[in-house]
Structure 1
Amino acid sequence: MYRVDLPGLGFFDVWRTAARCLLSHGVAPEEVTWSRGGGEDLFGGKPLPRGNGVHYVSAPRTFPALAKSVLCHTDPGAPALLYAALHRHQKDRKALSNPADPLVRQLAQLSKAVGRDVHKMHAFVRFRELPAEGKRRRFGAWFEPDHFILEQGTPFFAKRFADMDWTIATPQGVARFDAGQLTFHPPAPRPDLPEDASEALWGTYFANIFNPARIHLNAMRSEMPVKYWKNLPETRLIPGMLEAAEARVQAMREAMPGEAPARAARILERLPQNTFPERPETLEDAREAALACRRCGLCEAATQTVFGPGPQDAPLMIVGEQPGDQEDLAGEPFVGPAGRLLREVMAEAGVGPAYLTNAVKHFKFQPRGKRRLHQNPERDEIDQCRWWLDIERDFVKPRLTVALGATAAYALTGSHTAMKARRGTVEVARDGGPVLVTYHPSYILRLSGHEAEDARAALLQDLQQAARRVKEMPRREDLAPH
């Protein structure tokens, strides 16, 4: 049985050298005992073999970082688990790439615990200023981590506080940063750190950002564990703040205004009011009521509601997706590049009077500098806006409806099947009317070369079909029983 003693500091380099040597000699994990800090072993142990053996040793690219983290854990079995994992890798190069493997999962859990401890160190170390002889200021801190993270956690402070000298003392060791050089030293008694004049200022700030109305003790203890409170200057204020919290909340309630200021009425008068009836009596009433629509959140960013134009007795209704940037500014659908292409193809196809509208009445976009980039509406937004589309269809009563693209097809039929299989077919709308599904002009504009030519030809063919069908079909109102 081989025995490897890991020191309190610099343990990763010692472990790596020993693991390479043992693996090169083909030593199995059960033949090695790992200890930390020179603890006693009742059965003794052989020293490491001299020199490297005949076996080539390899490790995954991510393994050194994992090993550095896992070795910081106080679990005495951590070094042995790492060696077992590396030993397995020598025979199976994919052994450590399976996150469901029990050994791999155990190592990940150890590393995660160490990562949390490092995060707590970065959050809860509190420096106090010490007397300094030169131009650089000196600071000191005491911290009690759960794991051996001194070497893992202190480089963060070296980068963040490179313009000052400091010392962080822990029960496992001491880190010193002097003149830009970070060094590590054996444990020393807890230093007697003086009070810092800036702590009073920090305490005042901490007390003033405390919100008594949002107290959640379990969440607070989770983010700021009680074990760190004794070393944090602000925590001495917490009991008093908690005790006075209820009185402060009551004072906040009493300080709230009982009535709205006079200017509130003038502001409310300028806001659009959703006072339209549940169902407008005419199409013009619907168009006016839609200007104040608040059925979904798209109205908050869009310039205005874009309702459909066209004759109310139009035999054909053409439904697109939503207004674009130019439509949003003009307040009319299909006036941008896609609209110009649509009108061009409609003229070639011989399409007569048509009512043009969109499934969604507000422009959804993402700001990008000075531009507003189109975003597809969510299904919930389409469902909310279908209320307006249904009203338009009730008043217009088209003989045939053309759905331009997937959004319009879903709004009209409730189906979100892929467009490729549906294009050129006639489906049944939710209200029973016929719907011809085809490409949206914006889709054609995104294509190039032969693909764009083929898609445009398909749109032309579908609109020609729509023009023929409209002439042959009776109006929907004529089909209703008398």
Structure 2
Amino acid sequence: MLRAPGDFAEWRGAARGLLAGGVPPEEVSWRGSEEGASLFGEEAVPASTGAVSLPRELLEMAERVICHRDAEVPSRLYRIIWRAARDRQLLARTTDDDVVWLRGADKAIRRDVHKMHAFVRFRRLGEDAAGRESFAAWFEPSHHILRLTAPFFQRRFTGMDWAIITPDARAIWHDEKLAYGPGGTRDEVPESDVVEDQWRTYYSAIFNPARVKIDAMRAEMPKKYWKNLPEAQDIAPLLAGAEARVERMREAAVSMANPLTDKWRTRVPDELALDDDEKTLDDIARAVDRCTRCPLYCNATQGVAGEGPKSAKIMLVGEQPGDQEDLQGRPFVGPAGQVLNEALAEAGLDRRRLFLTNAVKHFKFEPRGKRRLHQNPTTGEIDICRWWLEKERALVQPELIITLGASALRGVTGKSASIKSMRGTVHELEGGSKLIATIHPSFLLRLPDRERAAKEREMFVADLALARKLAA
């Protein structure tokens, strides 16, 4: 009788004793504790009297396959190792029924493990007096794989306490110790948290309706997992609106500038783009689009000048336009812009009353197939583009400037400095403006560690809240 389903150590101990005692498979009945005692009682497993030699590959597969939910697995596995102890080439016999079954079961377990690694979603429970956060996740695997997968999460999320709860068992990482307990229910885990809301925003932003392939999506993310994934609730409306979004993309593409046309060969000469005739923000926007001072204009769709009221007390300076900003001609309208909008709202700032711009006015990227991958601007490109940033500052005359990232910090100050060295302090700028340095919102989107991402986001919102207080 096996007391814990999927416990390889328990099954291996029994199987080793049976093999050593020469007990053939047909004389062994395997059952789980939930099935109750055998009608004929139980005999003690013979004590192991010596080592049993088996192929390493077989033992590794057995450790996974024992987690299969099929009740016949312990019995079939014992029959296979009984045969393998007498036939070292058994696994090479690819048409053998037992081998075909073993490899099929192993594939099912490995796939289930992969899906658990991909689709577990932790929700924040809180933190203790020492500031250590705790999280919980609910997951419904197809097989008894919790003991196989828990070490993966232990290595990945060592810095926080967590529990993964399944219907059959639970794994708990607490005080640097991994323990297992009984199964539970979905009600033990919160419905959502702040990090999930941020993830859903990002998921919606990168959802490409023109590339939706339902069958491929379901193959990689079977529908059985959808109910426990935060982004899943958005999939149906995103799919429902996919056709309309594709049509809007087609309509918008008609008026979008094409970097492969002759537009760039008809740019005005450099000297005409460097005059001082720009008296309004609209003048600057038109001049920025004609700027040829550095090579970035050659491949960008258009120049992207600042946006906001001339009377704005606060100016936010980012690095450069991204893919969406380059296409729409407006700053902070892509995924990073959505993160910024949420943080501004949480900090009590109204975007409509702010002036948003970038240190560099053209999108710098590296073509990768049909995609355009962001590249950081060089210090030379930032310094050349200060011409336009200074003009915007002169017209808006903000009381406070918030720099988002190191490139923006150099664009405003003309000097390279780390965010860490400048953050947390209000600096005085020439001309009377104040400066607050913080991270760029795209930094939050790139963090794989949820714990760190949540903390960085709190600090980012705090920086924006400080700016609001100073401007008030």
Paired-residue identity, %: 44
| Residue of structure 1 in register with 2:275 after alignment | none
Unmatched 5+ residue regions in structure 2? 267-472
| Residue of structure 1 in register with 2:248 after alignment | 251
1:113 aligns with 2:143: no
Change (3 A) 1:174 1:267: same
Change (3 A) 1:262 1:195: closer
Count of matched residue positions in the alignment of Structure 1 and Structure 2: 264
Deviations for 1:273-309, whole angstroms, at most 9, x for unmatched residues? xxxxxxxxxxxxxxxxxxxxxxxxxxxxxxxxxxxxx
Question: How much does 1:44 deviate?
Answer: 2.9
The equivalent position to 2:145 in structure 1, one of 140, 144, 149, is 149
| Residue of structure 2 in register with 1:224 after alignment | 221
- Distance, in Å, in 2 between the alignment partners of 1:232 and 1:125 is 8
Question: How much does 1:130 deviate?
Answer: 0.7
Unmatched 5+ residue regions in structure 1? 270-482
- Pairwise mapping of residues 23-172 of structure 1 onto structure 2 (< 5 A)? 23-40=19-36, 43-53=39-49, 57-133=52-128, 134-172=130-168
Aligned-partner residue type, residue 238 of structure 1 = I
- Distance, in Å, in 1 between the alignment partners of 2:19 and 2:112 is 31
- 8 A contact 1:136–1:164 mirrored in 2: yes
Segment of structure 1 superposing worse, 250-259 or 30-39: 250-259
Question: How much does 1:66 deviate?
Answer: 0.8
1:175 aligns with 2:171: yes
- Distance, in Å, in 1 between the alignment partners of 2:60 and 2:163 is 25
- Distance, in Å, in 2 between the alignment partners of 1:23 and 1:251 is 68
- 8 A contact 2:6–2:66 mirrored in 1: no
- 8 A contact 2:21–2:46 mirrored in 1: no
| Residue of structure 2 in register with 1:22 after alignment | 18
Question: How much does 1:268 deviate?
Answer: 9.7
> 3-state SS of the aligned residue for 2:85?
helix
- 8 A contact 1:130–1:194 mirrored in 2: no
- 8 A contact 1:114–1:147 mirrored in 2: yes
CA RMSD in angstroms, aligned pairs only:
2.3
| Residue of structure 1 in register with 2:182 after alignment | 186
Change (3 A) 1:179 1:259: closer
- Distance, in Å, in 2 between the alignment partners of 1:149 and 1:193 is 23
Aligned-partner residue type, residue 92 of structure 2 = S
- Distance, in Å, in 1 between the alignment partners of 2:255 and 2:198 is 35
Aligned-partner residue type, residue 202 of structure 2 = Y
Question: How much does 1:258 deviate?
Answer: 5.7
- Distance, in Å, in 2 between the alignment partners of 1:146 and 1:98 is 28
- Distance, in Å, in 2 between the alignment partners of 1:93 and 1:195 is 52
- Normalising by structure 2, we get a TM-score of 0.53
- Distance, in Å, in 1 between the alignment partners of 2:256 and 2:155 is 53
- Distance, in Å, in 2 between the alignment partners of 1:19 and 1:42 is 18
- Normalising by structure 1, we get a TM-score of 0.52
Change (3 A) 1:50 1:83: closer
- Distance, in Å, in 2 between the alignment partners of 1:189 and 1:257 is 52
- Pairwise mapping of residues 275-294 of structure 1 onto structure 2 (< 5 A)? none
